[in-house]
Amino acid sequence: MGFKKSFEEILSNYRQTADFYDAQMLMVFWETRPEIVASLLPPPLEPAEIPVAVAFVANYPSTNFDAVYRESALFLRAVHNGEEGSYCLAMPVTSDMAMAGGREVFGFPKKMAEIHFKKDGDSAQGWTERRGVRFMEIYAELNGRFNNADALPVLMSGGMEADGSIRAVAYNFKYFPGPEPGSFDYNPRLVRQETVMKPKEMLFGEAKITLRPSDYDPWAEIEVVKVLGAVYTKGDNIMHGGKVVAETDPLAFAPYAFLKWDMK
């Protein structure tokens, strides 16, 4: 193995999907203000009917792409061409290879961070920290109840399949700054990517979330109006390849083009 790869080496490392085995995830859902969602979705994405945000922490102890790491993320519900999915605002990770792959292939706005995840009996918790600021903490009592009695249809909207698997559609914009200041290498591209979660264990619970101000990770901008609840899963996740479904005007996209870098 060296700097230059043979075609045999390239083919031996090819993966049709990225697979995560015994992945643990704690997801917390809340309603935010519709004007916040509208202001943060780049065109051509549109707000979903209900302004739902979700944050998660995850532990990935085994994968088929030689990376073991923890991850957290922040999403807003969004719609493209009538299909509801989730637009990723941030995705901190603890692995440089997971960061590079997610950013370069799919456009996920990944950064390196300190991430904590723990499940202890009927409770689970996690936090994410960068530059000395613990800007996100979540906690759940996995007691089978949600904070909001009507939360289940909202949380599982469009995602639960008949076999018990969960299909999650993510929307990201793939873009790179050009070598000339103030330019892009190409028009920003909207990527649709689908992950199928096959839980071996799925628990519901009442959630708490704390978002602290940070100059570099402004998660607190997504105001918590009403906490809906938490979902904990343990199982196998299958991350499928993505597809470019639209391009957007570089000038229109420019205000949204700084999710991957630290800028005040």
Q: Is the pLDDT of residue 194 over 90?
A: yes
Backbone angles phi, psi at 168, to 5 degrees: -115, 125
Quote the pLDDT of residue 149.
84
Distances (CA, A) of 8 to 12, 27, 104: 6, 40, 23
Neighbours of 124 (CB within 10 A): 24
**55 assigned to some structural domain:** yes
Q: Tens digit of pLDDT for each residue in 24-80? A: 999 999 999 999 999 999 999 999 999 999 999 999 999 999 999 999 999 999 999
Tally of domains within the chain: 1
**11 assigned to some structural domain:** no
Domain extent for 43: 17-256
Quote the pLDDT of residue 162.
66
**9 assigned to some structural domain:** no
**137 assigned to some structural domain:** yes
Nearest to 200 by CA among 236, 166, 155, 152: 236
**114 assigned to some structural domain:** yes
**10 assigned to some structural domain:** no
**2 assigned to some structural domain:** no
Q: Is the pLDDT of residue 116 over 60?
A: yes
CATH of the domain at 130: 2.40.400.10
**3 assigned to some structural domain:** no
pTM equals: 0.95
Half-sphere exposure at residue 195, Cβ-oriented, CA atoms within 13 angstroms: 17
